[in-house]
Amino acid sequence: MIFGKIDFLNLLPFDVFMKRYAKTLRIHQSLNYHKGVPSTLNRSFSARRIDAAFISSITARDCTHFNVGIVAKKSVLSVLSLPSNLHKNDTDSATSNLLAQILDIQGEVLIGDKALRYYYSGREHTDLGKAWNQRTGLPFVFALLCTHNHTNELKRLSRAFIRKPIKIPYYILVENARKSDLTPAQITHYLQYISYKIGEKEKRGYKQFLKEAKKRELNPPLSKIRY
C-alpha cells in the first residue's frame, strides 16, 4: 500500500500510531509513504499514484472514508488569515483557501507548521477554524482519510486509531520540535486543538461547508479545482 503522508504536525499522533500499528500487523514491509503537502497529495490521490491519504475536504467528498479526519472543534491555530489588503491563497492548501472565501475573510491564507510558527509569534491573525465555529457553531473538518482500495484494511486501521488517545514519546516531540522550529510544549499545546473522529456534529459541519461552497459557486468539478 502506498500511503500519502502530510508532513505537518497535525498528523503527528497518526504517524506515531502507524509505526506501532504496522509492526503489530506485520504490514510495515509492504507499506510505502509518499510525502507531500495537502495540495500535492490531492493531485497524487486523484491520479491514483497513492492508495490512501488524508485528503483535503473539498476534494474528498466522493471518496471512500471511515469517519476519520483532521478536525478543529473551534480554534485550529495552524490555518490562519494574515492581515493584507489583497487576498492571497496558500499554494499548499485546497480547503483552507476556499474556507477563507466562504467566510469573506480578506488576507493571506497560511496553513501548516509555518502558520503555527506565526501563531506562536503572537502576531495579528484570524483563526479560520475559530471563525467557522463562531459562524456555524460546528466543528470544521479539514481533511478525511480516504482510500481507493484496501477498504477492509483502512476500516480496521481507522477504528484502531480513534479507539484511544495516542501518547507521543518525548523524544519524538523533541525531534519534531527541532524540525519545525517550535518547542515540545508548543506542539503539545497545539495538538489539544486537533481531533480525528468524525462524529455526527463533525458530519454536520462538513455538510454545511460543502453546502456553502456550492452556494457560492466555488465548488467546481474535481478536474477543474486549482489544487
Every domain of the chain and the residues it spans: 2-217
Which of 21, 17, 18 lies closest to 33, judged by CA?
A: 18
In whole angstroms, how large is the CA radius of gyration of the chain?
17
Mean pLDDT (the chain) is 88
Model confidence, pTM: 0.88
**23 confidence band (pLDDT: 50, 70, 90):** low
Q: What pLDDT is stored for residue 227 in this prediction?
A: 32
Q: Which three cell numbers stand for residue 207?
A: 455538510
Q: What pLDDT is stored for residue 34 in this prediction?
A: 75
Q: Which residue has the higher pLDDT, 30 or 199?
A: 199
Q: Are 187 and 10 in contact (CB under 8 A)?
A: no
Which of 80, 87, 3 lies closest to 49, judged by CA?
A: 3
Q: Which residue has the higher pLDDT, 58 or 25?
A: 58
Q: Which three cell numbers stand for residue 57?
A: 475536504
Q: Are 96 and 36 in contact (CB under 8 A)?
A: no
**Could you give the percent of the chain with pLDDT greater than 90?**
62
Residue 70, beta-bridge partner list: 143
SS3 116: helix
Q: What pLDDT is stored for residue 54 in this prediction?
A: 92
Q: What pLDDT is stored for residue 223 in this prediction?
A: 36
Identify the CATH assignment for 2-217 out of 3.40.50.410, 3.30.465.10, 3.40.220.10, 3.40.190.10. Answer: 3.40.190.10
